[in-house]
A and B are shown apart, each in its own frame.
Chain A
Amino acid sequence: MTTQAAQKEQPLLSVQNLSIKIKMDNGTMNAVDGVDFEIYKGKTLGLVGESGCGKSLTSRSIISINPKECETTGEIVYNSDSEAWLNQLNLLSLKPAGKQIRSIRGRKIAMIFQEPMTAFSPMYTIGNQMMEAIRIHRTRNKKEAKKIALEMLAKVGISDQEKRFDQYPHEFSGGMRQRAMISMALSCNPEILIADEPTTALDVTIQAQVLELMKKLQSEFGMAILLVTHDLGIIAQMCDEVAVMYLGKIVEQAPVKEIFANPKHPYTKGLMKSMPRLGGGKTKRLDSIEGSVPIPIDMPPMCGFYDRCKDRIEGVCNMNTVPKTRISDQHSVRCFLYSDQREGESQ
Chain B
Amino acid sequence: MTAAMAGKQLPRHCRNKIQLVAERNGYEMLQYIIRRILLVIPVVIFISFVVFYIIQLPPGDYVSSYSAKMSAAGDVMTQAEMDDMRSNLGLDRPVYEQYFVWVKKIVLHGDFGFSFNYNKPVLAVVKQYMGLTLVVSLVTMVFQYLIAIPVGIYTAVKQYSAGDYFFSGLSFIGMATPNFLLAIILMFLSYTWFGDPLLGLFSNEYVNAPWSMDKVVDLAKHLVIPVIVIGLASTADLIRVMRGQMLDELNKPNVVTARAKGVSETKILLKYPTRAALNPIVSTFGWSLSSVFTGSTITAIVLNLPIQGPVMYNALLGQDMYLAGSWLLFMALLTVLGTLISDILLAWLDPKIRTEFRGN
Q: Which residues of A contact B (CB under 8 A)?
A: 60, 63, 65, 97, 102-107, 110-111, 113, 115, 118-125, 129, 132-133, 136-137, 140-142, 166, 168, 170-171, 184
Contact = CB atoms under 8 A, between A and B. Distances in A.
9 contacts: A97-B264, A103-B262, A113-B256, A121-B276, A122-B254, A122-B350, A123-B275, A141-B1, A170-B352
Nearest to B349: A123
Contacts of A125: 351
B352 A168 contact: yes
A125 B355 CA distance: 13
A106 B262 contact: yes
Given A119-B253, A122-B254, 11 more contacts: A103-B262, A106-B261, A119-B257, A123-B349, A132-B258, A132-B261, A136-B261, A136-B263, A140-B1, A168-B351, A170-B351
A105 B261 contact: yes
A142 B24 CA distance: 21
A102 B264 contact: yes
B258 to A, nearest CB: 7
Contacts of B253: 113, 115, 118-119
Contacts of B351: 122-123, 125, 168, 170
Contacts of A104: 262
Interface in B243-289: 252-254, 256-265, 271-272, 275-276
Contact of A166 (B9, B20, B257, B259): B20
B254 A63 contact: no
Contacts of A132: 258, 261, 263
B8 interface: no
B213 to A, nearest CB: 43
Given A107-B262, A170-B355, A123 B1 contact: no
Contacts, number: 85
B260 A110 contact: yes
A167 B346 CA distance: 18
A194 to B, nearest CB: 8
A136 B262 contact: yes
Interface in B2-48: 6, 9, 13, 20, 24
Interface string B317-355: 000000000000000000000000000000001111001
A20 to B, nearest CB: 16
B274 to A, nearest CB: 10
A104 to B, nearest CB: 7
A108 to B, nearest CB: 9
A11 to B, nearest CB: 22
Contacts of A166: 20, 24
A14 to B, nearest CB: 21
A142 B350 contact: no
Contacts of B352: 122, 168, 170
B265 A97 contact: yes
Interface string B96-108: 0000000000000
B262 A111 contact: no
Nearest to B1: A140
A63 B272 CA distance: 20
Going nearest first, the 9 A-B pairs with the smallest beta carbon separation are: A106-B262, A105-B262, A106-B261, A133-B261, A121-B254, A111-B260, A118-B253, A102-B262, A168-B351
A137 B276 contact: no
Nearest to B272: A121
Nearest to B10: A142
Contacts of A115: 253
Contacts of A129: 257
Given A142-B13, A168-B351, A168-B352, A120 B262 contact: no
Interface in B95-153: none
